Copies of this chain bind each other. A is one copy, B any other.
Amino acid sequence: MNLLWRLVSPKFGPQVCKYSKRSLKSVKFPFGSSNSLLHGIHVFHCPDEVGIVAKLSDCIASRGGNILTADVFVPQDNNVFYSRSEFTFDPARWPRGEMDEDFFKLSKMFNAMKSVVRVPEIDPKYKIAVLVSKQDHCLVDLWHRWQNGRLPVDITSVISNHDRGPDAHVIRLLERHGIPYYYLPTSMGKKREVEILDLVHDTDFLVLARYMQVFSAEFLKSYGKDIINIHHGLLPSFKGGSPSKQAFEAGVKLIGATSHFVSEVLDAGPIIEQMVERVTHRDNLQSFIQKSEDLEKQCLVKAIKSYCELRVLPYEKDKTVVF
């Protein structure tokens, strides 16, 4: 499956962080002529050869763009190249459409596997759908950060296979902001994948915020874009159901959470972020679960933010680069 496929598509979307807008106000304009500097992000992944950084940075500089951060990674023995740059630019000197063209030419020149550029202030935000089952702590946390302007996405819908009833707190939260909530009960043979596909076809990626249902290979292929999952265990330990219970029974002294891309193999996709917390013999299964919930929230939101800021790239078969 083409992980991170969506990152290749050069056509989208803004507003990496609401707060980056404010912070950009204070960026000094270093080369005259205008005050309306914008902030661009570019990621690039291609076979390695001499001179890629020189070409990329020359492209930016030739349009008057000023690199603020750059990160290059060339793993040993792999002959592949990864980079991520942030830069300010004057849209009068470098119109958004021409920027796409310039980077597209470079991606052709280097046979790039990935090349994405985003200008958060003017590109549309990423659109996501959030899928949940019974546990809604991750959903509520995402909602709250989104509502505070700390999550740089548009939530187009929430889909659940668990019946909450119309008066559930989380449903009222969503309603107030006009986010539709769909209840699609699933069962063994009935994954409702066609209906889900229909609901999420216009999203940029999916977030499984404790959705206890495994997607088929067909679904992954049809959707074709990235899906980020939060697993309440420290993968590759404790795959599958009830990871807290598995951890409790294994007598571990540290519990964890893992955010990762969904692949066809259950709980085996590339890991984006992991977090741990200490437990002792005094912890019981319930306190394992409760301690885990705080980890899950933090671990999921960190992965989503990194993804939206174009920091996450696929690496080898089952790994990630997280710039």
Q: Name A's B-contacting residues (CB within 8 A).
A: 19, 22-23, 26-28, 30-31, 48-54, 57-58, 60-61, 64-77, 79, 83, 85, 137, 140, 144, 147-148, 150, 169, 234-237, 250-254, 256, 270-276, 280-282, 284, 286, 290, 294, 298, 315-316, 318-322
Contact = CB atoms under 8 A, between A and B. Distances in A.
A20 to B, nearest CB: 9
B234 A251 contact: no
Given A54-B54, A294-B298, 9 more contacts: A23-B76, A23-B284, A23-B286, A26-B77, A27-B77, A31-B49, A53-B57, A69-B282, A254-B256
Contacts of A57: 51, 53-54, 57
A71 B74 contact: no
Contacts of A250: 235-236, 271, 318
A273 B30 CA distance: 32
A276 B286 CA distance: 23
Contact of A140 (B52, B144, B256, B281): B144
A30 B80 CA distance: 11
B48 A58 contact: no
B251 A318 contact: yes
12 contacts: A23-B286, A27-B76, A31-B50, A48-B66, A51-B58, A70-B70, A70-B71, A70-B72, A236-B252, A250-B271, A251-B318, A276-B276
Count the copies.
Answer: 4
A160 to B, nearest CB: 17
A19 B144 CA distance: 24
Given A53-B57, A54-B57, A58-B58, A74 B65 contact: no
Nearest to A275: B254
Q: Which of A58, A71, A76, A294 has the most CB of B within 10 A?
A: A76
Q: Which 9 A-B pairs have the closest CB atoms?
A: A251-B319, A70-B72, A51-B61, A53-B57, A54-B57, A237-B237, A54-B58, A54-B61, A253-B274
A65 to B, nearest CB: 7
Contacts of A48: 30, 66
A173 B60 CA distance: 48
